[in-house]
Amino acid sequence: MTKKTENGLATEPYKGVRDFYPEDMAVQNYIYDVWQEVSKRFGYKEYGASILEPAELYRQKSGDELVNDQMYVFSDKGGREVALRPEMTPTLARMVAAKRKSLKFPLRWYSIPNLFRYERPQRGRRREHWQLNCDLLGVAGTEGDIEIIKLAYDVMKAFGAKDENFVIKIGSRKALTKQLVKRGVPYEHHKKVSQLIDKKGKMPEEERLAELRKLGANFEITESDDTAEIRRLLSQKGVANTAFDAEIVRGFDYYTSMVFEVFDASPENRRSLFGGGRYDNLLDMFGVEPVPAVGFGMGDVTIRDFLTTHNLPLSKH
C-alpha cells in the first residue's frame, strides 16, 4: 500500500523504480565499476545519449512486445511522439549512422544507460533499470562473436562468479531461418515463429506449441556449424560453460545470426540474466551502408540478484 503524508503526497517512488540511499548507491557504484573496468580492459570506449528518443526509432526493429506493450510514449509540446529509451541498441545505430563516413572502424563502444519499460514489477524486473551495453562494430562473423561473448564471460568472472554458477546458451537466428525455409514455412510466418519460440515460459506451453504447429514449425532444430565453431573456439579461450540452445532467439527483430543468453545455474534463481547477439543489418533503416555489429546488454537488477543468490561480494574487498 502506498504511504501518504498528511497533505496526500506519497513518500514511495513511482511503481517499478527505486530510490538509492547511500548504502544502495554504494552497491550500484560497485556494479558500475566492475562493468567499466572490464569494458576498458577489452579496449571499449564509453559513449552516451539522452533518455529521450523519437518513438519511431523503435517501431521498425525492436519487436512488437516492446513497442506495443512496454514503451513509455508521450507527445511533447510540439506534438512530436517521444519515447523514454527502452533499449540502447537503436540509439547506438542512430549515432553510428549519423557519422558513418567519418568513423574509423572497428568501433568498440560501451555505455551504462538507464532504460524504461512498462512491465509488471517482479524479481529481476523493474520499470527502470541501468544496463551495461557493449557493442563491437566493423568485425564480421565468428571473430566478433567470440570477442563479445568472452567480454560478457569476463564481466561475470570479475564479479566473482564460478563457471558452475552460470551457463552461456548460444542459438542462431540464421540456423532457424534455414530450417524454416527447408520445412517450407512461408517467410511471412518467420517473425511469428521467432516470437513464439521466445515466449517459452511467458505463455501457456500448450497454447504456444499449438500455435507453432499451426505455423508448421513444431520441429527440432539441430546445432549449426557456426555455433559449434563458436563454442569450440570459446573453449580454447577458457570459456567452457557454454551450451547450444535452439530456443535462444532473443525478442528483438534486428538480430541476424548468433544470439546468446547467460543463465543463472542456481535452482533459487534459474533464469536468464542477460544476453545479446549479432545485428548486421540494423543501420539499413537509416539508408546508410550497413556495418557488421554484435553486442550485449547486462542489467543491474538481474546481476544484483545473481550476486545475492550466490553470496558474492556487493562491494570491493
Q: Within 13 Å and on the Cβ side, how many CA atoms surround 88?
A: 24
| CATH number corresponding to 22-183+219-309 | 3.30.930.10
Name residue 293's beta-bridge partners: 137
Q: For 267-300, what is each residue's pLDDT tens digit?
A: 999 899 999 999 998 898 899 999 999 999 999 9
What's the CA gap between 264 and 78, in Å, rounded? 45
With cell 534455414, the residue in question is 178
Q: List the chain pLDDT tens, one digit each, 317 residues.
A: 456 666 778 889 989 999 999 999 999 999 999 999 999 999 999 999 999 999 999 887 655 566 678 899 999 999 999 999 999 999 999 999 999 999 999 999 999 999 999 887 777 688 999 999 999 999 998 999 999 999 999 999 999 999 999 999 999 888 787 777 777 787 777 777 777 777 776 778 888 888 888 887 766 777 878 899 999 999 999 999 999 988 888 766 788 889 999 999 999 998 999 999 999 988 988 999 999 999 999 999 999 999 999 999 999 86
Contact between 245 and 170 (Cβ < 8 Å): yes
pLDDT of residue 61: 63
Q: For 90-99, what is each residue's pLDDT tens digit?
A: 999 999 999 9
What's the CA gap between 189 and 141, in Å, rounded? 26
Contacts of 232 (CB under 8 A, 6+ apart): none
282-287: list long-range contacts, CB under 8 Å, 24+ apart: 282/61, 282/89, 282/90, 282/93, 282/254, 283/93, 283/96, 283/97, 283/100, 285/60, 285/61, 285/93, 286/93, 286/94, 286/97
Name residue 75's beta-bridge partners: 81
Contact between 237 and 168 (Cβ < 8 Å): no
- Pairing assessment for the beta strands 45-46 and 107-111 based on DSSP bridges: parallel
* Helices and strands counted in the chain (H then E): 10, 12
